[in-house]
Amino acid sequence: MKKNIANILIILIISILGAFLLPNFFKGNPTLEWPSLVDFTIWTFTLFTIISILFYVNKPKEKLARVPDGYHELSNANNQITKKGMFEAGKQISGTRHVYNKDGTFSHIETCTNGVYTKNG
């Protein structure tokens, strides 16, 4: 989250600098002059939009870890078993899923058969 805010602030700063410099460049002014408030706002908004689109379109997607085929036991960050069983194409097809409450305490076990989970009483 902090990284996204930092990226947005950097894009905004670049847009503000561009909104100051680009109108002078396109008008061919040898000296720097402040653009009018309307021009400054339009340039800032336009540059912010273009740079944001270019940044987020070219941003590499985060890849999630894929479970290889076969029998595996998966654990969460608290070293509690979350899934046990057979996996195919990264999805569990048989076995059990251990469900925990938000505070980390054990809640219940769900059985997986043909990729469908059913809660055990």
pLDDT of residue 31: 81
Q: Is residue 80 part of a domain?
A: yes
- 6, 51: one domain: yes
- 6, 48: one domain: yes
Q: Is residue 53 part of a domain?
A: yes
pLDDT tens, residue by residue, 25-42: 887 877 888 888 998 999
Q: Is residue 64 part of a domain?
A: no
- 28, 53: one domain: yes
β-strand partners of 108: 99
Contacts for 73-79: CB closer than 8 Å, 24+ residues apart: 76/100, 78/104
User: What is the average per-residue pLDDT within 5-14?
Assistant: 89
Total of domains in the chain: 2
In angstroms, rounded to a whole number, what is the distance separating the alpha carbons of residues 52 and 88? Answer: 38
- Main-chain phi, psi angles of 77, to 5 degrees: -65, -25
Q: Is residue 33 part of a domain?
A: yes
Question: Coil, strand, or helix at residue 87?
Answer: strand
pLDDT tens, residue by residue, 66-110: 888 999 999 988 899 999 999 998 899 999 999 999 888 999 999
Residue where one domain finishes, among candidates 14, 37, 58: 58
- Residue 31, judged by CB atoms within 10 A of its CB (0-12, 13-18, 19+), counts as exposed
Give 1's pLDDT tier (boundaries 50, 70, 90): low
Q: Is residue 63 part of a domain?
A: no
- 107, 86: one domain: yes
